[in-house]
Amino acid sequence: MTAPAGLEAAAAGGARERARAIHKAGGIAEALASGAISRQVAVSLSEALVLGLLKQGVRKYIGIFGHGCTDLAEVLRIYEEEGVTRTFNCRHEVAMSHAATVLTWCYGEVPAVVTSIGPGALQAMAGSLAAASNGVGLYHIYGDETTFGEGYNMQQVPKREQHIYGQITALMGQSYVLHTPEALRDALRRGSLSVFHPYRRQPFYLLLPINKQPAMVRLTLTALPGRPELPAVAPIDERIYADAVGRISRTAKVAIKAGGGTRGHDAASNGWPKRPAQVLSCRRARPACCRIFTRRTCTSEDRRARSPATTP
């Protein structure tokens, strides 16, 4: 049920107070630690989502707003006015999806893409293919049809079946329809594991039904998940390492193909054994996808032999 007008006004006032306190404290973690904002709050689902994403370091929203995400847009307006978030309005959903991918891929800052219901969401999802194909994690938030089942709602898919957009986005990656506001914690937990996975990152699609965005929900902010900490672990059996060391020591050349899972580990190669290194090719912008470590400097014949055109 949509919140009454009086309750909506009170929620908007509380949202501004919370945003102001977060900005003054220097962040949501600092505001919670100092008691500037209460750990238990009653807020709209839209504000709860913004607060939850703040805990994961998501502060920038790139979007095209319409009737499918009006309530979320109003919350973002308040939080931007108080200096907590930034919102960038765009004119084409595919272009803004690519812009968000670049912001994450090249600058290491995870944003959220926001669109209304309808063709815009399909456009944004089409643009997210670049992120999905290259292991780039970010949030995609789309407005969705109401949960009342009252029939075709303007731009929803004209088919008599539930959660069509959720099924479509699930084909691209991890997807979650926030049919129930109280499920926000589970949605953000799944989202964080998808967007911030250590080596298999991908977009996470959140669908917000129009009538659920202003719905009030009580939640504990400290219980909302932050960015996951997934430390690297090693197998107990060290025989595989001994075998690898033996193979490396017996060969004159070692070819390492570094894919998307090595993104962010470029600095680690600086501490590897001091053998002349030559970057032969790079099929992606970051990092170099193929490094050749040899006991001698690679010749031009070596580079031609291992060029992408001749590599199977």
pLDDT at 85 over 80: yes
Percent of the chain with pLDDT over 90: 58
pLDDT at 185 over 90: yes
Between 64 and 244, name the one with better pLDDT. 64
- Reading the block at residue 189, the tokens are 């937990």
- Enumerate domains of the chain plus CATH numbers: 5-223 (3.40.50.970), 239-305 (no CATH)
pLDDT in tens, 99-136: 999 999 999 999 999 999 888 999 999 999 999 999 99
Lateral strand order in the sheet of 204-209: 86-89, 60-64, 112-115, 139-144, 204-209, 174-177
Residue 150 pLDDT level (bands cut at 50, 70, 90): confident
Mean pLDDT score across all residues of the chain:
83
Lateral strand order in the sheet of 277-281: 253-257, 290-294, 277-281
The 3-state DSSP class for residue 281 equals strand
**Model confidence, pTM:** 0.76
Do β-strands 112-115 and 139-144 pair in parallel, antiparallel, or remain unpaired?
Answer: parallel
How many CB atoms within 10 Å of residue 293? Answer: 18
pLDDT at 58 over 60: yes
| CB 245 within 8 Å of CB 270 | no
Amino acid at 149: G
